Structure 1
Amino acid sequence: MEEGMEATSMISQGKTHSSGYSPVAAVSVVPTRKLFGAVCAVGIGGAFQYGYNLSTINAPTPYIQKFINETWYSRYHTQLDEGLLTLIWSVIVSVFTLGGLIGTVIGGYAASMIGISMCVQPLYLGEIAPRRIRGITTVGINIFLTGGILIGQIVGLREMLGAEKYWPLLLATCAIPALIQLISLPCFPESPRYLLIDKKDEYRCQKALKSFYGSLHYKIEMDDIEKESRALNGEKQKTVVELFFDRMVKWQLICIIVMNIGQQLCGINAIYFYAHYVFKKAGIPEENIPYVTLGTGVCECITALTCGLLIDRAGRRVLIIGGYSLMAFWCIMLTITLTYQEAHSWVPYLSMTGVLAFILSFGLGPGGATNTLTAEFFTQSTRAGAFIVAGSVNWTSFFVVGMVFPFIVNGLNQFCFLFFMAVCLAIAIFIYCVVPETKNKSFLDIKEDFQKLNYGQWYKSPQDLAEAEM
């Protein structure tokens, strides 16, 4: 009770901006356990499971390839060609992305009809989060993703389930996070924005907001949702096709497409491919490399947490542009050190440093903030469709990279990092020139920032028109 009275006192002393947003009030609002629980329930069965799956499929790689060889020989009585084995393995590790693509399309359409809490996780988190911590809430997805990778690496150790006889059981453990989410997620309310703007259910919207923020603090977010609802004026959910013909979201779509392609083409997959080789050349015994690889998982977890702490202070642009710029630098360093890996005994240690630094740079910006921007660039009527586009681009790019990447590495070797360097620089320049800062802005404010790009210098905001009439 005393904490609530103190918070109310702080709110009454804060100055409110013209948008109705009080920075002092925002600082005093402490997220409830319900909001934190919703983030955990969403993250454990989605991003965590995704990262866990990526990690556990790597541990039994030689055992699965051996199983493929033995199965092929038992059926056809010939040895499997190495190139064909690479192709089969590429399909195995990439085919789940097709499921992700189908799920994105189905989930996105379901989001506009039956709600989003079970369908589109970044969308749900972006809509339930208060403005002042919207960044760290959506970055929570990346925190769970990196946590899943780290836990998968630990479970995949030979002392756990990484032995040859346990690899089927190791892959089966991916069902556990999904079961946890199925049990826990129904305990949390639907997105308040969906309830008010799409369903016109003010009572359930207020009930959901009170559940997430408490009865003392929900009014700020309620006012923000009502303002967006009035601005949309009953506008219906737009389909993906309609989005591509809507000039009001032209540059928002371009931005999320470029950023999601960039996440897959930036070279992060190449880093993991070369990590084993780099550690081996550094003199680490083969049997100890899995333990050293845990360092990459720890690096990712640290940077995801750091990104979450910084994103609502430093802003999204600084983290993403800085991350891609650092990644471009480390691509150059890795090309040089991998080329001269045998020249001196200390060069492999520079390669190790480059691998870890690249992962840190990726997690600090591009890996954590991209989902945040996808949630913030759109209003309620276009957000579900935008996530279908972003998810489809991401999964398709992932599938293409997974299929083609092993052959690229075999052909270009370490010089593939020069391509990744060019991609990182191009995306950093694009974001610097095009993407506006979204920190502490409402969805309507962000929409107004983009209208100057969508309509050019002649665009006049409602505020400009009101001032002109006066």
Structure 2
Amino acid sequence: MPEMQEMTSSSTRRRWTWTTTLTSLMIALSTSYQYGYNLSVLNQPMLLVKEFLNESYSPVTTPPLTTSTSTSLPEASTPTSPAPSSSTSLPAQNSICENTLTILWSLCTAVFVCGGMIGSFVVGWLADRLGRKYTLMLNAGPSIVGGLLSGSCVWAGSPVLLLIGRFVTGLSCGAATQLGPMYMIEIVPFDFKGAMGALYGLFVSIGVLMGTFFGLNIILGVEDKWPILLLLNVVPGLASLFVFPLLPDSPRYLLVTKKNKKSAEKALKWLRQSEDVSKEIKEMEEESKNQGDDETFSMLKLLRTRELLAPLIVCLLLQIVQQFSGINAITFYSKSILLKAGVSVDVVQYAILGIFLISVATNILTVPLMDRLGRRMMLLAPMSGMILVLIVISVSLNLQPLYPPINYLTIVCLVLYVVLFASGLGPVPNMITAEVFRQGPRSKAMSLAGLLNWLSNTIVAMSFEIVQAATREFIFLIFLVIMIASVIFIYFKVPETKNKSFDEIASQFKSTHRRSNDQMTAVVV
């Protein structure tokens, strides 16, 4: 046994090659980094964007709005989105009214989210028709066009260009959220799938960090430079257009979906830097045989196939839990918590940047842990910690008026919550969705999960401030109940996928479905 383990370890080390690393990093740069960057890119220059909208629609030119280092409610809920601002600046005389300005600003977020929902839903169909590689290259188009349109809005004096650009960018980001995990997990051996899922989450955090960093008022977060933040969107798209023609498509897609064994072997040999890929080819052929002729798997067929309902429900509920975990509430309170603890207004933006840097460091540590501890452990342990943090924050926020020093405990909880989210509930849901389905239904399941994720984003973004105004600090009790119910659900219903092939995981759900049917039949009899 020790000799066998040594051989397995040696084989694993040989399979982790520079070619696999390069391909994975390029996929992450073109998908998850781009998504993370666009979640935070407009948060730092929020008042500058409002000033541009105000001047564009005012009957006469008005004095500029008061600038600030604060940030706004994030465009989409992520563990690393900047904290929103509680401060507002009223328009000057002869400018548009405050409500109109708020609506225009909200449209910048709304069009991005709408684009994201559409992109995430259609990308599965494209990925099956064109392949993972060419769909990713095609996705560079809206990324580049959206960056150019939105980045040129000030030069053209047209807020419409900003809105159109954000919508087109949303299309690209929505597609990226599902295409990235799908492509990354399909190019690595099954015992590295966890690392790939964690790598995806890491680049989301890096993207948010860089969007926040470039948006600082000492870099690009100033009146004449903030459009450059949007122009930087073209960089990942251009990089993918230049590099991906040299990289292979997913071997699993080529063999299982397209039935092209020769191309699959060629891609696999390059990725593994080995001529002997027979074991992986055999495993793919076995999966292809077991799933049947499912290369034309439709969304309707996915919903009608009873044995796929259990994994589909698990994946969809994980997407909902991720967005309703309370991370929005944590980011909403972060600025006020830091200010009450004595952090000056000018330093708050750097303190928040430091929190995001800690999140990135957490994601780095998560990469090797995901395959060692397993998905269930990386969900249950951090989520249990998040429940404890929610309890402490609920108590501390209500005791702040009586005991001001308790603010420092709240800051610790703030950082800890972001860290726990980034290590589990942040990266795992998309990874599990990519793992639990065979090749045929995978892309359709990820499209549906992506649509629900963005829809949940929209619901949280639209309802959060209303609920927060009604419940104030007690809002964390709502998330506490959701998290407790989620932990119970994951404990009983979410299986472990660590070191299992796609076929093994699918068979596991299938056998569970059969046992349930047998039990129901026995009860009826």
Q: Which residue identity does 1:55 align to in structure 2?
A: S
Identity rate of aligned residues, in percent?
Answer: 32
Distance in 2 (alpha carbons) for counterparts of 1:411 and 1:82:
22
Query: Is the 1:379–1:444 Cα contact (8 Å) retained in structure 2?
Result: yes
Distance in 1 (alpha carbons) for counterparts of 2:413 and 2:450:
30
Distance in 1 (alpha carbons) for counterparts of 2:492 and 2:440:
27
Aligned counterpart for 1:147 among listed residues 203, 206, 209: 206
Query: Is the 1:139–1:304 Cα contact (8 Å) retained in structure 2?
Result: yes
How far the C-alpha of 1:71 sits from its partner, in A, is 4.2
Query: Is the 2:15–2:273 Cα contact (8 Å) retained in structure 1?
Result: no
Residue matched to 1:345: 404
How far the C-alpha of 1:403 sits from its partner, in A, is 2.4
How far the C-alpha of 1:215 sits from its partner, in A, is 1.6
How far the C-alpha of 1:217 sits from its partner, in A, is 5.2
Q: CA RMSD in A?
A: 2.4
Are 1:105 and 2:136 matched, yes or no? Answer: no
Secondary structure of residue in 1 paired with 2:224: helix
Are 1:91 and 2:107 matched, yes or no? Answer: yes
Q: Which residue identity does 1:434 align to in structure 2?
A: K
Instruction: Identify if the C-alpha distance between structure 1 residues 398 and 302 changes in structure 2 by more than 3 Å, giving closer, same or farther.
Output: same
Aligned counterpart for 1:226 among listed residues 269, 285, 297: 285
Query: Is the 1:155–1:161 Cα contact (8 Å) retained in structure 2?
Result: yes
Distance in 2 (alpha carbons) for counterparts of 1:39 and 1:257:
25
Normalising to structure 2: TM-score of the pair? 0.80
Aligned counterpart for 2:131 among listed residues 109, 115, 139: 115
Distance in 2 (alpha carbons) for counterparts of 1:124 and 1:51:
18
Aligned counterpart for 1:209 among listed residues 261, 268, 289: 268
Residue matched to 2:483: 424
Residue matched to 2:4: 14
Residue matched to 1:316: 375
Q: Which residue identity does 1:413 align to in structure 2?
A: R
Normalising to structure 1: TM-score of the pair? 0.89
Aligned counterpart for 1:356 among listed residues 393, 415, 437: 415
How far the C-alpha of 1:389 sits from its partner, in A, is 0.8
Distance in 2 (alpha carbons) for counterparts of 1:121 and 1:360:
22
Instruction: Identify if the C-alpha distance between structure 1 residues 409 and 82 changes in structure 2 by more than 3 Å, giving closer, same or farther.
Output: farther
Residue matched to 2:354: 295
Distance in 2 (alpha carbons) for counterparts of 1:86 and 1:328:
34
How far the C-alpha of 1:282 sits from its partner, in A, is 1.0
Aligned counterpart for 1:34 among listed residues 19, 35, 39: 19
Q: Which is worse superposed, 277-286 or 408-417? A: 408-417
Aligned counterpart for 2:391 among listed residues 298, 319, 332: 332
Instruction: Identify if the C-alpha distance between structure 1 residues 82 and 407 changes in structure 2 by more than 3 Å, giving closer, same or farther.
Output: farther
Residue matched to 2:80: none
How far the C-alpha of 1:337 sits from its partner, in A, is 1.8
Instruction: Identify if the C-alpha distance between structure 1 residues 135 and 402 changes in structure 2 by more than 3 Å, giving closer, same or farther.
Output: same
- Give runs of ≥4 in structure 1 deviating > 6 Å: none
Between Structure 1 and Structure 2, how many residues are aligned?
445
Distance in 2 (alpha carbons) for counterparts of 1:86 and 1:331:
31
Instruction: Identify if the C-alpha distance between structure 1 residues 15 and 331 changes in structure 2 by more than 3 Å, giving closer, same or farther.
Output: closer
Gaps of 5+ in 1: 1-9, 17-21, 461-470
Distance in 2 (alpha carbons) for counterparts of 1:86 and 1:347:
34
1:198-255 CA distance string (max 9 Å, x none) = 2111110000000111125533322211211221233333111111110111111101
Query: Is the 2:33–2:203 Cα contact (8 Å) retained in structure 1?
Result: yes
Distance in 1 (alpha carbons) for counterparts of 2:507 and 2:261:
26
Aligned counterpart for 2:42 among listed residues 51, 57, 66: 57
How far the C-alpha of 1:178 sits from its partner, in A, is 2.2
1:169-208 CA distance string (max 9 Å, x none) = 2232222222222222222111111111121111100000
Q: Which residue identity does 1:396 align to in structure 2?
A: L
Distance in 2 (alpha carbons) for counterparts of 1:417 and 1:87:
27
